[in-house]
Structure 1
């Protein structure tokens, strides 16, 4: 008998079709459906009705139910013990009575491949629905399955989605008011309880059954903030500007806050949070506030920042004249190529108030015709609104493309018998991948790896093997069948790792090989995945050994060896690789260390190939704030000297053991490049040297190191040295340090 084996992939082929028809009889307003079941299931105070007995009807030419015997423990919600599986285009039909804003939640749990309920997923959408019939369509691809465990449809607050909100560009400019948000569909990305306890606010503690997670994983510098809690309930009725209630956000969100630390322990003027989002997308960002820190009613002014460039005044008295009045503000925020939205709160210039606070944040992706594109003529997903006249009535059909999980039906093949084996990192050789029809054409197939092999290597991407996380997605430690240790970088939908970067990394690393450049073992583009497999670097990133972790301090000798190794790698890219390559994103997190602390440059997703001559390369500015060459930023002319500037920042990090941007410090010290150059000019550089290095550095070695760093950071690229010159100077530093140590030993 053929066995079903489920493999989750993210594919933009689940389609919502919202078709609204006029009805003349009383209708239900909320639905909680236990799919694939004839029995009900309880989840907190919600009763999920089995879809075989529900008033919501199913339309399908072929569907069946599936019950799991693997999740029958008392701790496992019965909600995830059944599923309805579709082999053909199918739909659920709901009768809607009220013209209102609704939450639509879809629950997915592949119980056939896991018994861990933490892997259960759900997608939450918020949209306006007029009275009539509402359909949720499932459109499986040929020879595939669609499935669903549970569906929720219930009304929110009528004013939950604003009609208009200020629109902020990635450059921090207020473009205009964005109109028509209320007619868009929103997909919840983040819902954050700022300053709340470490535990998540679960649906049973929220009037609209939402999850709110703590902000600890998103705040950049926790020492800049302290958490506050108010025991009494928020004063909802005192808000004079807008209707607000517990349905806007639960009490606990407004009873807790992060407050700017004014105790003197931190001199940073701002608290900053960073959120990874889809690149070049549009989001509704909602900020929740409630003054729980003032002792008497008073005007409290502070500044809210978006992307550090846009700022707006927050004045609690705009919403009422009592304490603990909840309020919120909305912005439509466009993301850029970094795939990140930064928000901050800080002091207002013209006020005596020495504090600022934030209670909650919600980030919702705006679906529809609102996605950004660098080229408006490029193909992109659109969400047309189609109107048709029928008997004097307007039938409105809104097509919304969202994430769909496809599960292949096939006979299981024993993974132990895989015939794949790694190929040389130069490329070449024949492909042993058994996939066809991948997403990436014309790639180096000698490096292509089956998805099943990577599942085996990472134990199906087990959380315990997670060793890194960033804008691109997650990095897992893996072990191939031949025993080779690898690092598996798996991009996630909506993450910072895009298709161009994925392709660039493969093409660059398949052509080059050097002791001080990380080696690409393989890649996978099956099932719309974007996965890169590298040699495993046991000692992590250079940054982790300088600050922000409990790793042992590096000696001056070790730091010089690491800098020399990285310089050799970059020099090879510029001069010895085919055609020349500019890295374009040199930073301390992209310098990796193996078990012997040998440095290797990594992350070539933004690199630029081509002849590196005096003609320069005109290109869209990309890179990381704090490391970005100011000349490149102004002129958009990329040269190898842009890498030299970024490497100069890394040299300063190595010397000072602090980040390139550190908002904890006073204003003039926030930017390491500016602060370092100022100290060099004043002859005060020794004052900012890492305290753990005091007494270790030979004066001649330090003098040459500072001189080299200063040359790298010259404002004009032509005044900077080549990477070959930098390498030579660093070797001089190392020789001076070695000679000094030899003299001390004698």
Structure 2
């Protein structure tokens, strides 16, 4: 074995290693110390230049690795957002809206007009509170004016109710295909690039029925009974149409019944419930209606049906008759709900306590008869058991018959019966006590007269000849 020896300089070796080199000896002079560096042997230590050059490839490899990881992460995040569609609902980055192609806006997506978020921000003056038209279970509505001069109502949906983008667009496609003169027209919505989900409806300028009955618009003029009955008929027409297309409105109330300049009805928020979950085990995740209008049977089974709309419409009918709100905390605690208030008075035939006196109930025979008939129809709609409620088709038919009935003939008939009743009373007062047989005859005549004057008998006779049947699902 060959042994090589050299005089080790420990100080020099330490400097050599600190500079990035390795200690050694010269091949020509084995006893001479040499510091082997990345760029070649040095006498004592590696130069600063050679040290930095040695680190440079290591730094380059490290930066490249970090960049590669970042690129992979960005691709993964982009793919996940694209797959789930959550970016439309979660993001608050304005660049998403601005990055969308301008060519997209004004185009059609499955027949739906797409509006840009910035366009609707401008139309509503940045969702100015002064432009707020109202709010409900699904969102807040703002007045807006588009660049082409069209007046619109922009509904800003609450984020907590958002579902998958694909489901939303599919349902919007369904809603835009509905065509009925008494439904508010849905113009379109924002695209999937938008930072918020907005729906654009036609603007209905005359406010809500609630406003005209007991709200801000009561100052502008009193709604006469013929107008109110027409509102009832047109609302029933819209709901009957929705039920025929398997859509439950789910939030029927006077605040969702709009009036145009001619006081024609435009029902709003129809079908929005289709966009949100209906799972009975997650009832808190979606609006289920408005207090005062809610179907009591819903609280038992947690499932809304078209009969739930019928119940809510019954409350609307009572509002039209009474000019009273669906909820009033100033009423007796058992009658805070208008439905309870009305049922109590209808059962006692105390219609004079229910009907708004300004309608002419006391002085106008036609108004008195029509309001009584509508109140009795509402009574049937407000039955707790949905099986005893009529369908919307039957309600619509009944309202049309009430509107078209010959009240002059009915008034003449009533006058004849009233005269006959007076004759009977006079006869009874001027004759001795009748025999048992005569007494029975008088009772039959009296009972017959009571039946003829009973509101229930009138609605049976004039509308269907019997109690309205219930055969809808």
Do both share a fold (TM > 0.5)? yes
Among candidates 329, 339, 346, match of residue 680 of structure 1:
346
Q: 1: distance between equivalents of 2:230 and 2:266? A: 11
Among candidates 344, 363, 369, match of residue 700 of structure 1:
369
| Aligned counterpart, 2:315 | 649
Q: Is the aligned partner of 1:538 residue 2:205? A: yes
Task: Report deviation, 1:554.
Answer: 0.8
Q: 1: distance between equivalents of 2:146 and 2:407? A: 40
CA contact (8 A) 1:701 1:737 kept: no
Output one character per residue of 1:714-739: Cα deviation in whole Å (capped at 9) or x when no partner: 12111111111111111122224886
Task: Report deviation, 1:491.
Answer: 3.0
CA contact (8 A) 1:585 1:623 kept: yes
**Local SS of the residue matching 2:156:** strand
Q: Is the aligned partner of 1:718 residue 2:387? A: yes
CA RMSD of aligned residues (A): 3.7
CA contact (8 A) 1:648 1:710 kept: yes
| Aligned counterpart, 1:477 | 143
Q: 1: distance between equivalents of 2:184 and 2:104? A: 26
Q: 1: distance between equivalents of 2:176 and 2:408? A: 40
Alignment of 1:20-419 (within 5 A): 406-408=93-95
Task: Report deviation, 1:473.
Answer: 4.1
CA change 1:527–1:736 in 2 (3 A) is: same
Alignment of 1:286-685 (within 5 A): 406-408=93-95, 420-421=105-106, 431=108, 444=110, 446-491=112-157, 498-499=162-163, 506-525=172-191, 526-551=193-218, 552-575=221-244, 577=245, 580-604=246-270, 607-608=273-274, 622-685=288-351
**Local SS of the residue matching 1:643:** helix
Q: 1: distance between equivalents of 2:252 and 2:321? A: 17
Q: 2: distance between equivalents of 1:543 and 1:524? A: 30
**Local SS of the residue matching 1:454:** helix
Q: 2: distance between equivalents of 1:447 and 1:605? A: 18
Q: 1: distance between equivalents of 2:257 and 2:315? A: 13
Task: Report deviation, 1:550.
Answer: 3.9
Q: 1: distance between equivalents of 2:239 and 2:99? A: 46
CA contact (8 A) 1:502 1:530 kept: no
Output one character per residue of 1:694-731: Cα deviation in whole Å (capped at 9) or x when no partner: 34552321232122111111121111111111111111
Task: Report deviation, 1:638.
Answer: 3.0
CA contact (8 A) 1:486 1:535 kept: yes
Q: 2: distance between equivalents of 1:470 and 1:558? A: 26
Gaps of 5+ in 2: 1-72, 75-83, 413-473
CA change 1:412–1:570 in 2 (3 A) is: closer
Q: 2: distance between equivalents of 1:530 and 1:410? A: 12
Task: Report deviation, 1:458.
Answer: 2.4
Q: 2: distance between equivalents of 1:504 and 1:701? A: 43
Task: Indicate the structure with greater helix content.
Answer: 2
**Local SS of the residue matching 2:250:** coil
CA change 1:619–1:504 in 2 (3 A) is: farther
**Local SS of the residue matching 1:540:** coil
CA change 1:550–1:482 in 2 (3 A) is: closer
CA change 1:499–1:678 in 2 (3 A) is: same
Q: Which has the larger radius of gyration?
A: 2
CA contact (8 A) 1:584 1:608 kept: no
CA contact (8 A) 1:487 1:535 kept: yes
Q: 1: distance between equivalents of 2:314 and 2:266? A: 17
CA change 1:588–1:728 in 2 (3 A) is: same
**Local SS of the residue matching 2:384:** coil
CA contact (8 A) 2:143 2:151 kept: yes
CA contact (8 A) 2:206 2:263 kept: yes
| Aligned counterpart, 2:417 | none
Task: Report deviation, 1:553.
Answer: 1.9
TM-score by length of 1: 0.38
Q: 2: distance between equivalents of 1:479 and 1:448? A: 16
Query: How many positions carry a matched residue from both structures?
Result: 312
CA contact (8 A) 2:152 2:200 kept: yes
**Local SS of the residue matching 1:539:** coil
Gaps of 5+ in 1: 1-140, 143-378, 382-402, 422-429, 432-442, 610-616
Task: Report deviation, 1:450.
Answer: 1.5
Output one character per residue of 1:504-562: Cα deviation in whole Å (capped at 9) or x when no partner: 86254223111111110011144330111001111111111111224322110111111
| Aligned counterpart, 1:262 | none
Q: 2: distance between equivalents of 1:582 and 1:628? A: 13
| Aligned counterpart, 2:22 | none
CA contact (8 A) 1:504 1:604 kept: no
CA change 1:503–1:604 in 2 (3 A) is: farther
